[in-house]
Each structure stands twice: as structure tokens, then as C-alpha cells.
Amino acid sequence: MSAYAAAASVVDPEIRAVTIEELGILRDVAEDQTTGRVTVTITPTYSGCPAMDVIRADIRAALDHAGYTDVAVETVLRPAWSTDLISQRGRDKLAAAGIAPPAATRPGIVALRLAVTCPRCGSPDTEEISRFGSTACKALWRCRSCAEPFDHVKPL
């Protein structure tokens, strides 16, 4: 298994449905061909993310399991993480897990959120219950159609 594939397979500890690659947290994996050292670059979803220590440990464990023993995990804050970095596969997995993904945007386009679609029934008739959800990067919403609560990844 390549060093990139090993790092990319690490599951986010707070949202177990997606990997750090699918969330856009994984920025780079570089292997020094001379020394064999692997340097993994990650960016937190926000600067105070409490999951980063677990993510670093999980990356080291995944690379160790794949046979890479000299591993450095570097955290970079620039460019800042954005929900635009979540892959389409990641968005699909979030929705399948009952978590409403943020709308994808394109460069130069200003997104105007008219509604958050319920990941369970697809209704746009939803309301925010609390700006603070199960983790700091999510808000708690409720669907007025099916009455089910759900997390929504806060757009950044």
C-alpha cells in the first residue's frame, strides 16, 4: 500500500462515515526516496479542533501498519480548510450517514443558502435548532416534514 493510500484511509474520529481525505483534511503525503521518511500534511477543520491529536495518531498507526516507520505529521493552517474541500464522495457519505453536507461552491460564486435539505427525507422544510451540534463543526437542525433531527456541517 502506498503511503498516500494508507494516510487517505484514516477515518475522521468525529464523523466516522468519512475519511480525512474525503473531508479535505489531508493535504499532502510526501515520501523522501533517500531516507524513506514520510511527511503527511494535514489541516484542521478549524484551529481549535480537538480531534487533531487522534487524527495524527491514527495517521501514524495506519502508516506503521503499511510498513512506514519514519513518519512526520505536520499541521498547516494556510490555506485554511473550507467545506469546499469536501469531496463529492465525502458529501454523499455524509448524507448517507444522516448528516447534511454543506452546499458545494465554485470559485467566484457566492453561495446563498435558501434551505438545508433533510438528509433523511430530502425536504427543504428544515430549521436550525442549535448553532452547536454534536461537534463544533456541526449545527443541529430538524426537518419539519419528517420531524427528524440531523447534524449539518457548518459551511466555512
pLDDT in tens, 33-66: 999 999 999 999 887 888 999 999 999 999 999 9
pLDDT at residue 109 in the model: 58
- What pLDDT, on a 0 to 100 scale, did the predictor assign at position 46? 83
| Neighbouring residues of 50: CB distance < 8 A, sequence distance ≥ 6 | 136
| Mean pLDDT computed over every residue of the chain | 90
Domains of the chain (ranges, CATH numbers):
3-81 (3.30.300.130), 100-153 (no CATH)
State pTM to two decimals.
0.79
pLDDT of residue 104 exceeding 70: no
